[in-house]
Structure 1
Amino acid sequence: MNTSRKGRLVVALAVAGATSLALAACSGGPGAGNGGDEGGGDGGDNVVTVYGTIVPPEQELLEESWADWEEENDIDIQYEGSKEFEAQIAVRAQGGTPPDLAIFPQPGLMADMASRDLILPAPQGVADNVAEYWSEDWAGYGTVGDTLYGAPLMASVKGWVWYSPAQFEEYGWEVPTDWQGVLDLTAQAQADLGTSPWCIGFQSDAATGWPGTDWVEDIVLRQSGTEVYDQWIANEIPFTDPQIKSAFEEFGKIALNPDYVNAGFGGIDTIVTTPFGTDPAQAMADGKCALHHQASFFDGFLVDAGAEVGEDGDIWAFLLPPYEAGGEAEGDVVTGGGEIVAAFDDSEATVKVQEFLSSPEWANNRVKLGGVISANKGLDPESASSPILQQAIAILQDDSTTFRFDASDLMPGAVGAGTFFKGMVDYVNGTDLDTVLQQIEAGWPAD
C-alpha cells in the first residue's frame, strides 16, 4: 500500500472482487478510447493524465514535485487521486477510458493488469532508468515474466521500533540485537515503568488490521528467511504452515500480553480501536508510550504531534533486529512498500512523463518537499526532510540490504487486504490462532 499512509488506501474484499470482475470483462488493449498516440484523456498532445491513490494533503506535494518540469517541457500533467483507485482503474480500463499513466500502490494489481494486456511494457528510457537507478529487487516488482512494465516511485522502510533516547538512557536500556532481546527489553521496560510499554493501533477504517500484518511480515522474514517469505507470498507455503504460525505466536508474545499493551489507551481490546498513526504518535510525544512498531512514515505523525525526531531528539528508532544475532545476512533485512508507475498510452508526452518519474531528478524533487523517500539510487539522502528518512534511504541504497516488498501488497487482494487484515483483528480479539490461520488461508482464490 501507499508508502506514506498505508492504511489510508482501502482494498476491501468487495473491492478486490469488483476488480477481478472488471478485469475479466475487459476487452481491448492499452490506450483504447483515450486517444492512443493523441495524448490520452483530453486528447491533447501535451496533456498527460495520471491516476493514483495519493490524495490531499500529499497530492499537493506530488503535483508540486513536477510543476517546474511541466513548464519547462510544455506538458500538462493532470493528476487525479482517489481512494477507490483499486476498483476504478479496472472499470476505466474495461470501459476504454484509462488514464495515460497509473500509480499502482500494489505490484500484484499491476501484474494482474499486465497479464491481461491492459498496460504497456515500459519504454526504453524507463527501462534504462530502472537498470541504472534501481536494485534488482525493485526492478522485479515492476516486472511480469521477463517484461518490465513499470518503474518504482516512492518507498518506505518498515520494521522500525520507535523509542525515547532519553528514556533509554534514564533506565539503562539497550537497543536489542535479536528478537529475544526485544522480548527482554519489553519485560524490563514493563518492570521499570510499572505500566505497559508498547502502544499498538490497528484502526484504519476498512483497512483496519494492516499494522498487524506488518508485524507478522517482519517476523517471517527475520525468523524464516527470504525463501520462505517468497514461497509464502506465492501460497507455496500456506498461512497454516508452522513457520508462519510461529511468526504470529512471536507477535502474540507482545500483543496478547496485557502487561505489555496498550500503552496510553487501555488493554488488549483497544488495539483494534486505536488509530494506527495519530494516536500512537501523540502518546509517544506525551511520554505515555515507550515502544511502537511502525514504518518510516511514522516520522511525519511524530512531527505533527510536536516531537523532534533524531538520535538526540525526543524520539528515535531502531530496526527490528534479526531473529538470531549474527545471522547470515550481510546487511539490514527489511520489509517495505512503494508504488509502481505503468502506462496505458505511449504518446510522446506520456513517455516523457513516465521517464521523468523514474529519474533521480523527480525523486530528489519530491523527497525535498518532505514526508517521503524513494529507493532510487540517484537520490541524495540529504534531500530527505529528517534523519530517520535519510537513514531509510541509505538502507534502501545499500547493496547489502535484503529487501522484500510488503507481503500483503503482493498477495491477491482477497487475502492481502481481505482475510489477512481480518485475521489480525480476530487474533488480537482472542480468536484461536489455528482458526485464524485457516480463515486467512481460505481467502486465496481458487486456481
Structure 2
Amino acid sequence: MAHHSKRRIATLAGVLAVALTATACGGSDDGGDTGDSAAASIDCAPYEAFGDLEGKTVTVYTSIVTPEDQSHIESYKPFEECTGVTVKYEGSKEFEAQLPVRVKGGNAPDIAYLPQPGLLQTMVATGAVKPAPEETAANVDKWFGEDWKAYGTVDGTFYAAPLGANVKSFVWYSPSAFADKGYQVPTTWAELLTLSDKIAADNTDGTTKPWCAGIESGDATGWPATDWMEDVMLRTAGPETYDKWVNHEIPFNDPAVATALAEVGKILKNDKYVNGGLGDVKTIASTAFQDAGLPILDGTCYMHRQASFYAANWPEGTKVAEDGDVWAFYFPAQDATAHPVLGGGEFVAAFADRPEVKAFQTFLSSDTWANLKADTTPDIGGWLSANKGLDIEKLKTPIDKLSAEQLQDPNAVFRFDGSDLMPGAVGSGTFWKGMTDWITGKGDQEVLDYIEQSWPAS
C-alpha cells in the first residue's frame, strides 16, 4: 500500500468543511477564474491538431477525492469548451489497490494520475500504458526540469507527464519565538545543529526542546521518519548516491546510508533535542504526525520538520506566513550553495491513445492548465506544480508560493520521496517499520541490516 493517499486523506481531514465551503462559493470570491471567463482566456489552437473531437469522452481515475477534486474538474472546463470533449472524473480512496485490478480486468480508465513513479513502472510492465504523445513530450521539455521528465520515463520511453507536486524539505517554526530569542534561521546543516544546541542550553526546564516530532499514522506509521532519512541522505550522500540507494545499486546497509542515519539520529534520538512538549525520544513513535508540530504554538518546541502539506494541520485561525504564528524555512543542506529538494507529485498515465486522450494529456502538461488549476484552487491552497510556466503569484497561500519557489529555483536538485520509489515490501513495509523500531530503541546497524535483508531478490 503506497502512502501518498493516506497522507493526503489524513492531512485533509481537518480542513474538509472549510474546503467544501470555499469550493462551493466558487466564482471570483475565491480567486477562481472558472467557467466561461476561463474558457475565453485560453488558446484552443494546440488542440486543433487532434481533429474533430466533438462529443468524445475521456475518463480520468485518481486518488484525488473531495474536496480537492472540485478544483480539478473546474480546471478542465476550458479544454472541454475548446474541443467538445467531456471529461469524466472519478476519484477513489482505493485508487492504488483498484487501478491494477481494473487494468487486469480490461476496464482501465483512459487517464490515471499516478502518485508514485514506482506505480508507473508497475503499470508499464503490464503493457497497458501508452507512450506519451509527442505534443505532451514537447510541453514537458519546455515547462519541466529533466529530473521531472525522468520520473515519467521507463526504460527510455517517456510515458507520463508531471501533474501536481509537493515539497518536503521544510522546517516549521514560530517567527516570533525566534525573534524573541534572537535565533537566526540556519542556512547549513552545521548551523542547524548549532542552533539546536543553543535552544537546548537556553531551555533546561525538561519540557521545552528544540524539536518536536511524531511518526504515528495508523497502518502507515513510520513514514515521517523515512522522509527525514531521505532528506538527510540527499544532503549527506548527494543525488547520485541517493539514486543508487533508491534503486538498490548500493545495499540499504551501505556506509553512505549508515552515515545519513547517524546524522538523523543526532536530532531524532537526542534526548536534549526531542520531543518538545510531548515527552522523550520514544514518544515520537506514538505521537500522531498531525499533532507533532503543535507544541510550536505553545512554545514548548521550536522546530518541526515536515512537508508543505502540514500547513493544513495547524488549528483554525493559525496564521501561516512569514509574519504569522508559524512559518517554514528550507531544510538546510551541508553548505548554503547546494539546494537539494525532496518531494512528491502525480504523473499522468494514459491507457488509451485515441486523439481526444492525447489532446487532454497535452492540455494537462501545458503552462495553460497549470495556471487554470491555480485559479480554480480554493483559498485554503494546498496545490502547486513544478511547471515553470506557473505564475507563482496565482497560488493561494504563502506556503504554496514558497514551495513553488523551491521547485523553480535554478539551483534546485529535485528528488522524489525514496520510499515511494522502492519496492512496496521495503518502501511501505520494512522501511516504515524499521524506522519505527529505530525510534523505540533498536540500533542503527540492526535496523539497516533488517531493511536490507527484506529487499526483493528480483
Which category of TM-score, normalised to the shorter sequence, fits these structures?
Answer: 0.7 to 0.9
C-alpha separation in 1, matches of 2:174 and 2:112: 40
What residue in structure 2 maps to residue 382 of structure 1?
393
1:19-418 mapped onto 2 (5 Å cutoff): 46-194=56-204, 195-277=208-290, 279-302=291-314, 304-323=315-334, 325=335, 329=338, 332-368=339-375, 369=377, 370-418=381-429
Q: Does 1:420 align with 2:427?
A: no
Unaligned runs of 5+ residues in structure 2 are 11-53
**Shift in Å, 1:171:** 0.8
2:55–2:84 CA contact under 8 A, matched in 1: no
Q: 1:318 to 1:432 in 2, by over 3 A?
A: same
What residue in structure 2 maps to residue 13 of structure 1?
none
C-alpha separation in 2, matches of 1:6 and 1:135: 26
**Shift in Å, 1:166:** 1.0
- What amino acid sits opposite 1:358 in the alignment? S
Q: 1:272 to 1:46 in 2, by over 3 A?
A: farther
Q: 1:438 aligns with which of 426, 449, 454?
A: 449
Equivalent pairs counted in the alignment come to 407
**Shift in Å, 1:7:** 5.9
- What amino acid sits opposite 1:146 in the alignment? G
1:45–1:349 CA contact under 8 A, matched in 2: no
**Shift in Å, 1:371:** 1.1
C-alpha separation in 2, matches of 1:133 and 1:210: 31
C-alpha separation in 2, matches of 1:268 and 1:71: 56
- TM-score, scaled to structure 2: 0.84
What residue in structure 2 maps to residue 15 of structure 1?
none
C-alpha separation in 2, matches of 1:7 and 1:193: 35
**Shift in Å, 1:384:** 1.2
What secondary structure does 1:272 align onto?
Answer: helix
**Shift in Å, 1:61:** 2.9
1:63–1:79 CA contact under 8 A, matched in 2: yes
Cα deviation, 1:345-398, whole Å, max 9, x if unaligned, reads 122222222222111222122233121110001100101112232122122123
C-alpha separation in 1, matches of 2:182 and 2:71: 41
What residue in structure 1 maps to residue 17 of structure 2?
none
What secondary structure does 1:414 align onto?
Answer: helix
**Shift in Å, 1:45:** 5.5
What secondary structure does 1:175 align onto?
Answer: coil
Cα deviation, 1:27-74, whole Å, max 9, x if unaligned, reads xxxxxxxxxxxxxxxxx9522211121122222332233245434533
C-alpha separation in 2, matches of 1:166 and 1:99: 49
**Shift in Å, 1:244:** 0.5
1:196–1:259 CA contact under 8 A, matched in 2: yes
What secondary structure does 1:335 align onto?
Answer: strand
**Shift in Å, 1:92:** 0.9
Q: 1:300 to 1:5 in 2, by over 3 A?
A: farther
C-alpha separation in 2, matches of 1:338 and 1:158: 11
C-alpha separation in 2, matches of 1:326 and 1:201: 28
Q: 1:4 to 1:387 in 2, by over 3 A?
A: farther
1:46–1:75 CA contact under 8 A, matched in 2: yes
Cα deviation, 1:286-323, whole Å, max 9, x if unaligned, reads 44431110112222333x54221222222122111122
C-alpha separation in 1, matches of 2:283 and 2:71: 34
1:156–1:295 CA contact under 8 A, matched in 2: yes
2:3–2:220 CA contact under 8 A, matched in 1: no
Runs of 4+ aligned structure 1 residues displaced above 4 Å come to: 1-5
Q: 1:7 to 1:207 in 2, by over 3 A?
A: farther
Cα deviation, 1:147-193, whole Å, max 9, x if unaligned, reads 11000001112211111111111111122232222122112212223
C-alpha separation in 1, matches of 2:221 and 2:92: 19
What secondary structure does 1:313 align onto?
Answer: coil
**Shift in Å, 1:8:** 4.2
C-alpha separation in 1, matches of 2:450 and 2:284: 21
**Shift in Å, 1:236:** 1.1
Unaligned runs of 5+ residues in structure 1 are 10-43
Percentage of matched positions with identical amino acids: 48
- What amino acid sits opposite 2:440 in the alignment? N
Q: Please, what is the CA RMSD of the aligned residues?
A: 2.1
